[in-house]
Each structure stands twice: as C-alpha cells, then as structure tokens.
Amino acid sequence: MSLAISSYQTGRVYLVGSDKQGRVSFFERLFERAMGIVGNAQRIYLGGLYQLWRFENVLRSNEVIHDQFDKCYVPRNAQTIGDLDIHELGIRKNGKVVFINTKYSCVAELSQTHSFKAIWKPDFISKIAPEDRCHLNGLAMVDGAPKYVTAVCKSDAVDGWRDRRHNGGVVIDIDTNEIVCEGLSMPHSPRWANGKLWVLNAGTGYLGWVDFATKSFVPHAFLPGFVRGLSIFGNTAAVGLSKPRNQRFEGLQLDAELTKHDVEPWCGVQIISLTSGDVLHWIRFDGDISEIFDLCFLPNVRNPMMVGLRTPEIRELITFETELMMEVTS
C-alpha cells in the first residue's frame, strides 16, 4: 500500500511508500497547483492549474527501476482545460475521468474540442457561469459512477459561498438532486465505503458520516486541522490536514475545537481507524508547506515514483509495446 498526496499551495505531488528495508520512502514532483488526485496501481489522474494530467505506470509486474521503485508513473497526457479551479476527481467504470468544476459549479468530463463538458449541476444553480457560486468541491464515486457531491452552500450568486462557511454546507445526491445532509461547515471529500457515506466537515475538523434519516452529520474523529482529502481502504482512512489560512479558513468552529483540545493545527496526513476513531499512523509536514489538498491510497504499490517534466528522465525513459505478427504460408 502506498499513498499519493497533492498540495496546491506548494505545487507538489508526494508519493509515500516503503523501501527495501521497510522504511518510509518519500518521492516528490512539482506540478503547478496540484489539486485533485485519484489513481491505482496502473494510472493516476491529477488536476492542475489549467490542465488535467494522466500518468501511466510503465513497469511490468515484479519489475523495478533504479533498484527500488516498483511503479513508475509517466505523464502521458495533459489535456488543457483552462483555469476551472478543478477540485476532486473520479474514475468511471469505463476508465474515463470526471471532475468537480468549481469555478462553473458543475460536474464535468473532458471534451475533445472544448475546455469541458458539463454533465450535472445542482438544481439551485440557475446557470453555468464562471462565478464559483456555491463552491462545489467534493466528489464521491459509487460503483464507478459519480454519486454524491459536497458544496459549501446553496448560493446562486457570484462568490456567494464565502458568507455561508459556518453552517451552509450540503451533501447532494447527483441521481436524485436531493440534499442528503445539511448544516455543515465547509464540507469536503465525500467517500462511499462500508455501506456509509463518509465526509469531512472541514470547518470543524471532524471526520464523520451521513445519517440519511435525519440528513445530519455524525462525528467520528477529530483531527487537528482543516481536513480536506480523504481515501478509504477497508476500515482505514487517510485524511489530509491543513493549517488554517487567513480569512478563508479562520473564524470557523475549528478554532474553538483546536482550543478545546489544546492543540496546534497540523499540516500532514493522519491514518484513522473507521472502527475506533483512533489515529493509527501519521505524517507531519513542517517548513514551507502548510496545506494538503487531496490524497489517495494506491493498493498493491510498495514504492512508487513519478517522472517529472524538467528532468532528463522524461526524454530518456522510452518504453514501447509490441505485437508479434506471424505469417503462416502453405
């Protein structure tokens, strides 16, 4: 098991695995405004400032590179989509990517000709316009299809979400357009797992789940930071934590929760048990990095690497596939 982490604040992607000695291994690459990230052992998608990146692993099973990495993700495609303030991503059952187009308040997919193709918007959004009206941000996939989204509020006016950060947050069922949870503070990263819809109530610092009967949020574990980015495997969750930022993240219930728990805000990742709520492991970042955006588990990956854009390796690492053709004559 490995972990991919994005930080748009520093423009970095971190791949976290383990080396031959079982020690934690970090691999870092630069991608401008690295946002939503989703993937598996073969493919990773990453949202950037104005492009959506596709990386492919070029190593065969049981093959390693540089005597240590069992997966080598190479950027094979970067589709130019413009600055859509792209947020979370999902991979459909057919392998195609869908994404949250936050600037235009919709769920979108790639277009061969245009910046994007809108496939869904909330009922309360009257027009697809570059106005970030409700700050649509999180996406939950169920059975290979987009199913739930989070929004900071139900505003239908330009930048209206900034005045509704405390309790205007909602979770919406894409299929029915029903609001299945409300009263949240800057919700993010809904994920369907183990028969529950898990979500981060970011403005409070809590990981929890949705009670569909009461349309309410049930807290499960407090994390000391602005929580954003959630990946679940089995009964284990990885959650991204960011330090509160001036104006946008400050002045929320999170401030009171940090004081209540007598703790300073983190930047990093905590691995949480979905059974007990206990912290099993953690990664803590210090220095220039203060925000995490997204993360995803990479099952069946021990120690991954990624080819960067400004390295000799992107010119020199050439792989190819062959199809052996045999002629039979008589």
User: How many CB atoms are closer than 10 A to CB 110?
Assistant: 17
List Cα–Cα distances, 211 to 171, 182, 216, 219, in angstroms: 11, 10, 5, 10
SS3 319: coil
For residues 197-202, average pLDDT: 98
Torsion of CA 48, 240, 220, 167, to 10 degrees: -50
For 41-80, give the secondary structure using H, E and C. CCEEEEECCCEEEEEEECCCCCCCECCCECEEEEEEEEEE
pLDDT given at position 322: 77
> Taking 70 as the threshold, does the pLDDT of residue 136 lie above it?
yes
Would you place residue 329 in the very low, low, confident or very high pLDDT band (cuts 50, 70, 90)? very low
pLDDT given at position 49: 96
pLDDT given at position 163: 85
Q: Do 27 and 33 contact (CB within 8 A), yes or no?
A: no
SS3 254: helix
> Taking 70 as the threshold, does the pLDDT of residue 97 lie above it?
yes
**Nearest alpha-carbon partner for 252 in 226, 229, 234, 271:** 226
Contacts of 248 (CB under 8 A, 6+ apart): 162, 165
Structure tokens at 208: 């929890």
Contacts of 3 (CB under 8 A, 6+ apart): 15, 16, 17, 231, 238, 269, 295, 296, 297, 298
Structure tokens at 254: 């999170």
pLDDT given at position 252: 85
pLDDT given at position 321: 86
Residues paired with 115 in a beta bridge: none
Q: What is the CATH number assigned to the segment(s) 2-316? A: 2.120.10.30
> Taking 50 as the threshold, does the pLDDT of residue 208 lie above it?
yes
pLDDT given at position 300: 96
Sheet with 279-284, edge to edge strand ranges: 226-233, 236-242, 268-273, 279-284
Average pLDDT of the chain, as a whole number? 94
pLDDT given at position 246: 61
Domain assignments of the chain as residue spans, ordered by start: 2-316
Tens digit of each residue's pLDDT (9 = 90 or more) over 304-323 = 999 999 888 999 999 888 76
What is the CA 324 to chain-centroid distance, rounded?
Answer: 40
Locus of tokens 């540089």: 66
**Nearest alpha-carbon partner for 71 in 46, 93, 40, 45:** 40
Q: Do 51 and 45 contact (CB within 8 A), yes or no?
A: no
Residue 156 burial (C-beta neighbours within 10 Å; 0-12, 13-18, 19+): middle
Would you place residue 196 in the very low, low, confident or very high pLDDT band (cuts 50, 70, 90)? very high
Count, residues in the chain: 330
For residues 107-124, average pLDDT: 97
Would you place residue 325 in the very low, low, confident or very high pLDDT band (cuts 50, 70, 90)? low
Tens digit of each residue's pLDDT (9 = 90 or more) over 236-269 = 999 999 998 765 566 789 999 999 999 999 999 9
- What does 129-147 look like in DSSP terms, one character per residue? -SS-SS-EEEEEEETTEEE
Tens digit of each residue's pLDDT (9 = 90 or more) over 160-171 = 898 888 899 999
Alpha helices in the chain (DSSP H): 253-260, 313-316
- Rounded CA Rg of the chain: 20
For residues 173-198, average pLDDT: 97
Locus of tokens 């053709």: 325
For residues 173-200, average pLDDT: 97
Tens digit of each residue's pLDDT (9 = 90 or more) over 19-76 = 999 999 999 999 999 999 999 999 999 999 999 999 999 999 889 999 999 999 999 9
